[in-house]
Amino acid sequence: MKKTFILIIAVLLTIPALSQLEVKPGSFKEVVGFVNINEDPDYQYDDNDKPFAVLKIKTENINEQQRARLLFQGDAQTYIIVENMVGEVWLYISYYASYLKISHPDFSSTEFYFPITMKGKKGYELTLTNKYGQGNAKDKLGLTVRVANNYEELYYYNQYVGLYPLSEATAIEYQTTTDFGESVEVFQEAVKDGDAAAQNNLGACYYTGKGVEQDYEKAVQWFRTSAEQGNSTGQINLSYCYYYGQGVQKDSLESLRWCQLALDQGLAGAQNFYGALFCKGNEKLEWYQRAAEQNNDVAMYNLAKSYKGTEKCDEALFWLTKAANNGFMPAKNTLGTWYYYGQCVKEDKEEAVKLYRYAAERGFAESQHHLGYCYAKGLGVEKDEKEAFKWEKMAADQGNMIACNNIGHFYEYGIGVDKDNKKALTWYLKASEMGYSDADANIGDLYYGFNYGIDHSYEEAVKWYEKAANQNNARGLHMLGYCYENGYGVTSDYKKAYELYTEAAKQDHAPSYNNLGLFYEKGKVVKKDKKKAFEYYMRAAELGSDYGIANVGKCYDHGIGVKRNKQEAIKWYQKAAEQGNFYAKNRLKELK
């Protein structure tokens, strides 16, 4: 047997449980005729060639992200294979098993003893529920727990490094089924009894602005109250705030002190945090490793990213895959990107699309954007512009700045949606406000051209190109240079244009190489140098510019910086003509 796993439970946290797993009484039963054994031979027999029984676990008050992180352990010599399905979990389990332990990194565990002896190739089912522990204020309100759908809220702090405990066991992760405000009320009620976990959770609400107005100072107050009671999550959150000076004066030594207190309690999130911010080199990796071995998703993710591009690519893939299999959406998304580009794994765009889709369907904005891009380009999936628009729009609605820019592009060019320049401008402006320099250049293009619904203005275009150029955006630099070269919206200035083209060319911007070639061919500002002009045209051509390709043809056609060669000229003109270059098309007709 190739794929048999014995799943071992690791104790991750010692903080008070916020929810309780329980097998619903009386729910276990044999399902007559239920023998849906996976067709894969590895899902049919264990190492002793004993056929598996199939246990279908239905869930109540447990969502997809939570369900993906459930852990299962049987008694000695029990083999278990876990298959996560939509809305349920299937266990392929040794039929003689008598005991099953089910746990979750953020919940308390439950134990279940099978009331009958299960048989191979027979189907059984039970229902797993998630309820709050006794005595918790949440019980009084009868609230239902779920994990936040937007994993960016959980993990997008300091590139997956900081505020980890908030994603590990507290407020951001636990919300009500109605609105977050109810959770705030729950925490406010619980803190009256001095509940340290609730104090930390309330701090998390103030930190993120979920259910209350965002207030870092109040967040720090509650983190501190929780931390001073010895709550490890409160301690690491307070450490984070001190490190970045949020709600309190920045103090790295105080941050280290609180982090150390959380470390002393063995908190995996603290180990990851300490390694990320206070260590370098091998020591950083050692702390990531410690946390990763406790099934800390962020540490596994960080370890994988650290090993990527080294001789430990296999280990990188192992840890990233493990974090992804835990349902950690940033890992699922990144694993998709590794498959897309063939990093640490053989390139497989179809597999990339599957991974992107999994995370996208669960609300992860970056994966929604990637999936939209794949649909737009027909990469790993059949091209479908309407699907592309749908997924990019979902990502944009969550504030993904690249998706906002792309929705603008779709409206500008009528991709998957009716063309609408005004809506294009609206979405470009949203992306610009988030700091996306490509959007600034796109806004410049709308004002530069004569676009329906947009008041043409070279001066306005220059303003936006300048904003993009100030962020070292290659197209912004190029278009600003073009405006200076031709006196559009500014006084003509060849020297300024040359400088801007040069800066853009440093980023391998093909049109800028082409325009620099023209400067050297004509002797604008610089000394005329036809050989250098040819070199710049060739570089533009190598980068895919149809103008650069056509100009290489022109150089062979007329002997500019290179010996005249009609056949070479025709070859290059044909390449440019295939890309739609009009000069090349006309010149081919003349030569023939």
Give residue 140's pLDDT. 24
Output the six-digit token pair for 313: 């690519």
Q: Find, among 495, 535, 106, 442, the residue nearest to 296 by Cα.
A: 106
| 401 CA to centre of own chain | 12
Of 8-12, 127-131, 167-171, 554-558, the least confident: 8-12
Output the six-digit token pair for 349: 């765009």
Confidence band for 58, pLDDT divided at 50, 70 and 90: confident
Give residue 181's pLDDT. 54
Output b/e per residue, 491-504; b: 16+ Cβ within 10 A: eebeebbbebbebb
Other beta carbons less than 10 A from residue 395's beta carbon: 27
Of 101-115, 172-186, 244-258, 277-291, the least confident: 172-186
Confidence band for 150, pLDDT divided at 50, 70 and 90: very low
Output b/e per residue, 227-240; b: 16+ Cβ within 10 A: beeebbbbbbbbbb
3-state secondary structure of 53: strand
CB 413 within 8 A of CB 441: no
Angle between helices 582-591 and 566-578 (to 10 degrees): 140
Q: What is the mean pLDDT of residues 115-130?
A: 82
- Asked if pLDDT for residue 202 goes beyond 70, the answer is yes
Q: What are phi and psi of 175, to 5 degrees?
A: -130, 170
Confidence band for 273, pLDDT divided at 50, 70 and 90: confident
- Asked if pLDDT for residue 10 goes beyond 60, the answer is no
- Asked if pLDDT for residue 210 goes beyond 90, the answer is no
Give residue 530's pLDDT. 96
Average pLDDT, the chain: 82
Output the six-digit token pair for 552: 């290489």
**Using CA atoms, how far apart are residues 248 and 241, in angstroms rounded to an integer?**
7
- Asked if pLDDT for residue 156 goes beyond 50, the answer is no
- In degrees, rounded to 5, the angle at the alpha carbon of residue 196 between the alpha carbons of residues 190 and 198 is 40
Give residue 269's pLDDT. 85
Give residue 107's pLDDT. 61
Q: What is the mean pLDDT of residues 94-98?
A: 74
CB 535 within 8 A of CB 513: no
**Using CA atoms, how far apart are residues 331 and 337, in angstroms rounded to an integer?**
10
Give residue 165's pLDDT. 32
Give residue 211's pLDDT. 82
CB 475 within 8 A of CB 438: yes
- Asked if pLDDT for residue 443 goes beyond 70, the answer is yes
- Distances in Å between the Cα of 209 and the Cα atoms of 214, 400, 567 are 4, 19, 67
**Structural domains of the chain, ranges and CATH numbers in brackets:** 20-131 (no CATH), 133-265 (1.25.40.10), 436-504 (1.25.40.10), 508-592 (1.25.40.10)
CB 189 within 8 A of CB 160: no
Helices (H), 265-413: 268-278, 281-292, 297-307, 313-325, 329-341, 349-361, 365-377, 385-397, 401-413
**Using CA atoms, how far apart are residues 428 and 409, in angstroms rounded to an integer?**
8
- Distances in Å between the Cα of 383 and the Cα atoms of 171, 350, 372 are 40, 13, 10
Q: Find, among 519, 588, 523, 520, the residue nearest to 549 by Cα.
A: 588
Beta bridge partners of 81: 92
CB 389 within 8 A of CB 407: yes
**Using CA atoms, how far apart are residues 465 and 79, in angstroms rounded to an integer?**
62
- Sequence letter at residue 182: E
Write out pLDDT tens, residues 317-372: 999 999 999 888 899 999 999 999 999 999 999 999 999 999 999 889 999 999 99
Beta bridge partners of 71: 103
- Asked if pLDDT for residue 2 goes beyond 50, the answer is no
Give residue 71's pLDDT. 79
Write out pLDDT tens, residues 504-517: 999 999 999 999 99
Write out pLDDT tens, residues 380-391: 999 999 999 999
**Using CA atoms, how far apart are residues 223 and 543, in angstroms rounded to an integer?**
53
Output b/e per residue, 400-421; b: 16+ Cβ within 10 A: bbbbbbbbbbbbbeebbbeebb
Beta bridge partners of 257: none
Give residue 403's pLDDT. 95
Output the six-digit token pair for 338: 């590794």
pTM: 0.68
Above pLDDT 70, what percent of the chain? 83
- Asked if pLDDT for residue 431 goes beyond 60, the answer is yes
Above pLDDT 90, what percent of the chain? 56
Q: Find, among 287, 405, 15, 301, the residue nearest to 173 by Cα.
A: 15
CB 223 within 8 A of CB 243: no
Give residue 145's pLDDT. 23
Write out pLDDT tens, residues 509-552: 999 999 999 999 999 999 999 999 999 999 999 999 999 999 99
Give residue 55's pLDDT. 86
Give residue 133's pLDDT. 34
